[in-house]
C-alpha cells in the first residue's frame, strides 16, 4: 500500500504539496516546467499511446512551449477550469482553452465572423475552425516567424486544410473548388515564394479574424467591396477604376458591372503577360470584354451599343490579335484598362478631343480622318455610309459574276463529259462493275455526301457553307432527321454489300481479287519509281491495283467505325445501360475524327484518281454504267486485259465486254 494513503509523514507532506499546488493554480497559473503536475502527465507520450492521432494534441513538451509566444504563460491561464482541480488525473473532458481571456477584442471579432459562427454552431466539427486551427496550440509562433502557421508563406497551406479539393465532402460548407490549388498557381503565390512577403495571401483579401461570407455586405470579398480590397495593394489602379464607368456603376450598386475578379479571376490571378491569363492581349477581347459586351441581355438592359465585339473581330486589329500579334490593338489599347469612360465624357480616351492622341500611340502620323476610319461603326457600316453602298453593289456583283463563271464552266465540263461518254460508247468496252455494284456505289455516294454535310453542319453552324442550310429549310430538327435517314441508307447498303460478297459468285470473285497481296507492295514501289522517272517499266496491274485496294479496305474500316460509334450516339441511353459513360464520350470523339479522315481521304485520294487524274479528267465515267474501254483497260489493268484476251472471247466469271453496240460474254 502507498505510504501516502496511511496518513504518515509522507502522506502529510504530499497533502501539503498538493495544497500548495492548488493554491498556485488558483492564483495565477504555473509555468510548464519540471515539477508542474501538468508536465508529469502531458510530457509523457507513452501515457496517451492508446489514443492514436489524438495523442499529439495532448502531449506537450517544455521545448515546444519555450519557443512559442506563450513561453512563461501558465497552463491555467488558458485552461482556466484546471484552477479548481485537486484530484489527478483530472476529468477526461475539460472546457476548451479560452483565448479570449487575453485576446478579448480578437475573440469578439472572431465570434462575429463566418468562421466564428460555424465554430459556435458546430462545436467539435473538424471543419469548424477554432483559434488553434489556424495558429496552432502549444507551439504558436509569431506571424513573422517563418515556422508560424500564419506566416505569409505558410498561410495558404494552413487555409488549405479546409479549403482544398481533398478537404471537401458531402454536407460541408466548403464549396470552393480547390481554392488553394488555384491560388498557388497564381502571381501572388509566386511572388510570396520569391520572398515578396507583401504580396497578397488569403487574409489580405478575405480578412483574418473578421472573415465573412462573400454574400455578406461587410465581407472584403463581397462583389461591391472587392475593388477596395484589391486597392489595399493596387491603390493607383483602384483610383483609376473608381474614375471609370465600371467603378462608377459598381458604386451605384449595379450588380452587373465588372469588378477586379470578373476580369482577372479570383484565386488563380495570372500576370497579364502569361498566355493563360484572361487579360492577356490575345484573350482580353474575346474572353473578358465579350462576356458583357457580347451578351444581348446586358446590351439591351443597359442601352449599350451592339456589335462591338464582332466588329472588332472583323477588323484588322482583331484578326491580327487572333493570329498571335502582340502589337495589334485590343480593347484596352483604345479604351484603357481601368479608367474606362464613354466617348461622351471629355476625359475618355475615345472622346472626340482625345481619340487622335489615342491612335497616335501606335500610329504617330494619325489624324482625325485616320481615327474615324477605325471606329466600330466604320467596320459595322452605317445604313447610309459608303461601306453599305459598296456592299450593296459588290455582293450581287459577286453572285452574278462568279455564279455566271461557274455556270459557264459547268456547261463546258458537261460538254466534255458527254463527248467522252459518246467516245467510250463507240469503243470496245468491258464490264468493270455489274449493275448491282453500280447501284451500291450510287447509294454510298448519296448517303456519304449527305452524312458529311449534315454532320459537319452540326459541328460548324457558323461556317459560310453551313449558314445557308437553314434558309433552305434544313433546321436542326430536319438536319438530324436527314442525317439519320442517310445513316440508315448507308447501313442498309453495307449489309447488302456483305451479302453480295458472300452469297453471290460475282461478289466472291470481286472479293478474291480485292484481297491484299505482297505483290501490291512491289507494284506500289514500282509505280512511284516510274512516275519519278527512275524506271521506264510500268507496274503490271491486275483487276484491282494497290490504290483501289487501299481505298476499299479503308472504306470498310471507316464504315464499321462510323456505324458503331453512330449507334452509340443515336441510342446513348441504351448503351449506357451496359457500358461506362466514357464510351459515349469516346464514341463522339472517334465519330468526329473518323468523319474528317473519311472526308479528306475521299477528296485527296478518291477524287484524284476518278476526277483530277490527267488520264481521267473531267472524270471517270465507269460509275455510270460500270463499263471500261479497252484502251483504258490495257493502260490501267494490263494483267487483267491479257487474261481476258487469253480466254479468246470467253472472259472469266463476271466481266463482259462490248464491241460497238454488241455486248459479248456471260
**Amino acid 3: pLDDT:** 38
Residues 6 or more apart in contact with residue 152 via CB below 8 angstroms: 192, 197, 199, 201
Q: Residues of the chain whose pLDDT is less than 50? A: 1-7, 14, 16-18, 20-30, 170-171, 651-660, 662-666
The verdict on residue 517 lying in a domain is: yes
Residues 454 and 314 in one domain: no
The verdict on residue 409 lying in a domain is: yes
Residues 77 and 157 in one domain: no
Residues 649 and 551 in one domain: yes
Burial of 329 (0-12, 13-18, 19+ CB in 10 A): buried
H-helix segments, 342-466 = 355-360, 368-372, 376-380, 386-425, 435-459
Is cis: bond before 370, omega within 30 of 0? no
Answer whether 230's CB lies under 8 Å from 222's CB. no
Dihedral through CA 139, CA 140, CA 143, CA 149, nearest 10? 70
Domain count of the fold of the chain: 4
For residue 487, the domain's CATH number is 1.20.950.20
Query: Could you tell me the pTM of the whole model?
Result: 0.65
Beta bridge partners of 205: none
Answer whether 455's CB lies under 8 Å from 448's CB. no
DSSP symbol at 92: S
Pairing verdict, β 657-659 and 662-664? antiparallel
Residues 67 and 166 in one domain: no
**Amino acid 658: pLDDT:** 46
Residues 163 and 272 in one domain: yes
Q: C-alpha angle with apex 244: 243 to 247, nearest 5 degrees?
A: 90
DSSP symbol at 549: H
The verdict on residue 210 lying in a domain is: yes
Answer whether 41's CB lies under 8 Å from 47's CB. yes
- Find how far residue 221's CA is from the centre of its chain: 27
Distance (Å, rounded) from C-alpha 380 to C-alpha 311?
6
Burial of 48 (0-12, 13-18, 19+ CB in 10 A): middle
Q: pLDDT tens digits for 442-484?
A: 999 999 999 999 999 999 988 888 888 888 888 889 999 999 9
The verdict on residue 353 lying in a domain is: no
Residues 541 and 650 in one domain: yes
Domain final residue, candidates 51, 80, 95: 95
**Amino acid 556: pLDDT:** 97
Q: C-alpha angle with apex 230: 228 to 236, nearest 5 degrees?
A: 85
C-alpha cell at 602: 475521299
Residues 6 or more apart in contact with residue 234 via CB below 8 angstroms: none
The verdict on residue 487 lying in a domain is: yes
Q: Which domain holds residue 14?
A: 3-95
Nearest C-alpha neighbor of 340 from the set 304, 310, 307, 298? 304
DSSP symbol at 585: H
Residues 483 and 565 in one domain: yes
The verdict on residue 333 lying in a domain is: no
Residues 56 and 151 in one domain: no
Residues 394 and 452 in one domain: no
Residues 237 and 291 in one domain: yes
The verdict on residue 176 lying in a domain is: yes
Residues 387 and 514 in one domain: no
The verdict on residue 124 lying in a domain is: yes
Residues 140 and 283 in one domain: yes
Amino acid at each position: 500500500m502507498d505510504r501516502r494513503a496511511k496518513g504518515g509523514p509522507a502522506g502529510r507532506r504530499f497533502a501539503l504539496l498538493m495544497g500548495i499546488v492548488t493554491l498556485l493554480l488558483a492564483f495565477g497559473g504555473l509555468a510548464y516546467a519540471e515539477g508542474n503536475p501538468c508536465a508529469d502527465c502531458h510530457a509523457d507520450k507513452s501515457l496517451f499511446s492508446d489514443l492514436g492521432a489524438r495523442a499529439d494534441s495532448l502531449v506537450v513538451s517544455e521545448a515546444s512551449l519555450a519557443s512559442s509566444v506563450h513561453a512563461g504563460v501558465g497552463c491555467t491561464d488558458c485552461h482556466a477550469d484546471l484552477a479548481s482541480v485537486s484530484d489527478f488525473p483530472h476529468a477526461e473532458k475539460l472546457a476548451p482553452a479560452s483565448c479570449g481571456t487575453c485576446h478579448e477584442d480578437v475573440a469578439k471579432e472572431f465570434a462575429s465572423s463566418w468562421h466564428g459562427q460555424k465554430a459556435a454552431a458546430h462545436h467539435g466539427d473538424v471543419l469548424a475552425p477554432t483559434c488553434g486551427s489556424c495558429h496552432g496550440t502549444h507551439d504558436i509562433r509569431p506571424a513573422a516567424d517563418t515556422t508560424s502557421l500564419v506566416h505569409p508563406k505558410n498561410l495558404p497551406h494552413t487555409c488549405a486544410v479546409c479549403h482544398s479539393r481533398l478537404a471537401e465532402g458531402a454536407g460541408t460548407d466548403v464549396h470552393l473548388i480547390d481554392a488553394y490549388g488555384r491560388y498557388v498557381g497564381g502571381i501572388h503565390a509566386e511572388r510570396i515564394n520569391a520572398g515578396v512577403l507583401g504580396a497578397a495571401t488569403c487574409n489580405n483579401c478575405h480578412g483574418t479574424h473578421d472573415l465573412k461570407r462573400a454574400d455578406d455586405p461587410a465581407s472584403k470579398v463581397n462583389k461591391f467591396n472587392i475593388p477596395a480590397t484589391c486597392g489595399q495593394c493596387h491603390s493607383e489602379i483602384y483610383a483609376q477604376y473608381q474614375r471609370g464607368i465600371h467603378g462608377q456603376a459598381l458604386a451605384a450598386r449595379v450588380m452587373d458591372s465588372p469588378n477586379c475578379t470578373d476580369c482577372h479571376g479570383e484565386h488563380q490571378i495570372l500576370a497579364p503577360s502569361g498566355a493563360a491569363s484572361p487579360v492577356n492581349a490575345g484573350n482580353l477581347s474575346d474572353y473578358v470584354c465579350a462576356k458583357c459586351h457580347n451578351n444581348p441581355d446586358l446590351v439591351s438592359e443597359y442601352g449599350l451599343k451592339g456589335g462591338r465585339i464582332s466588329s472588332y473581330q472583323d477588323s484588322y486589329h482583331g484578326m491580327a490579335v487572333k493570329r498571335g500579334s502582340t502589337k495589334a490593338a485590343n480593347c484596352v489599347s483604345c479604351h484603357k484598362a481601368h479608367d474606362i469612360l464613354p466617348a461622351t465624357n471629355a476625359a475618355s480616351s475615345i472622346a472626340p478631343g482625345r481619340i487622335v492622341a489615342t491612335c497616335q500611340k501606335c500610329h504617330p502620323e494619325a489624324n482625325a480622318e485616320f481615327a474615324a476610319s477605325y471606329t466600330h461603326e466604320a467596320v459595322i457600316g452605317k445604313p447610309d455610309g459608303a461601306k453599305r453602298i459598296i456592299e450593296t453593289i459588290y455582293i450581287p456583283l459577286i453572285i452574278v459574276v462568279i455564279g455566271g463563271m461557274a455556270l459557264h464552266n459547268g456547261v463546258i465540263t458537261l460538254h466534255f463529259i458527254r463527248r467522252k461518254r459518246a467516245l467510250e460508247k463507240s469503243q470496245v468496252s468491258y464490264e468493270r462493275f455489274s449493275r448491282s455494284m453500280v447501284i451500291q456505289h450510287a447509294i454510298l455516294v448519296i448517303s456519304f455526301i449527305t452524312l458529311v454535310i449534315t454532320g459537319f453542319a452540326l459541328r460548324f453552324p457558323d461556317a459560310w457553307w453551313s449558314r445557308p442550310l437553314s434558309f433552305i429549310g434544313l433546321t436542326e430538327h430536319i438536319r438530324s432527321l436527314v442525317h439519320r435517314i442517310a445513316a440508315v441508307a448507308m447501313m442498309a447498303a453495307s449489309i447488302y454489300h456483305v451479302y453480295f460478297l458472300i452469297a453471290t459468285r460475282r461478289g466472291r470473285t470481286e472479293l478474291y481479287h480485292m484481297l491484299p497481296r505482297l505483290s501490291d507492295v512491289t507494284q506500289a514501289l514500282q509505280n512511284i519509281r516510274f512516275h519519278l522517272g527512275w524506271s521506264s517499266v510500268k507496274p503490271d496491274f491486275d483487276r484491282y491495283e494497290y490504290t483501289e485496294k487501299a481505298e476499299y479496305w479503308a472504306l470498310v474500316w471507316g464504315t464499321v467505325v462510323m456505324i458503331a460509334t453512330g449507334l452509340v450516339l443515336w441510342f446513348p441511353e441504351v448503351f449506357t445501360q451496359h457500358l461506362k459513360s466514357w464510351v459515349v464520350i469516346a464514341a463522339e470523339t472517334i465519330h468526329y475524327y473518323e468523319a474528317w479522315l473519311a472526308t479528306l481521304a475521299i477528296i485527296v485520294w478518291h477524287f484524284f484518281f476518278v476526277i483530277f487524274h490527267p488520264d481521267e479528267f473531267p472524270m471517270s465515267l465507269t460509275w455510270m454504267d460500270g463499263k471500261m474501254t479497252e484502251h483504258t483497260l490495257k493502260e490501267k489493268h494490263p494483267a487483267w486485259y491479257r487474261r481476258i484476251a487469253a480466254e479468246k472471247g470467253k472472259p472469266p466469271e463476271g466481266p463482259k465486254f462490248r464491241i460497238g453496240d454488241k455486248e459479248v460474254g456471260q
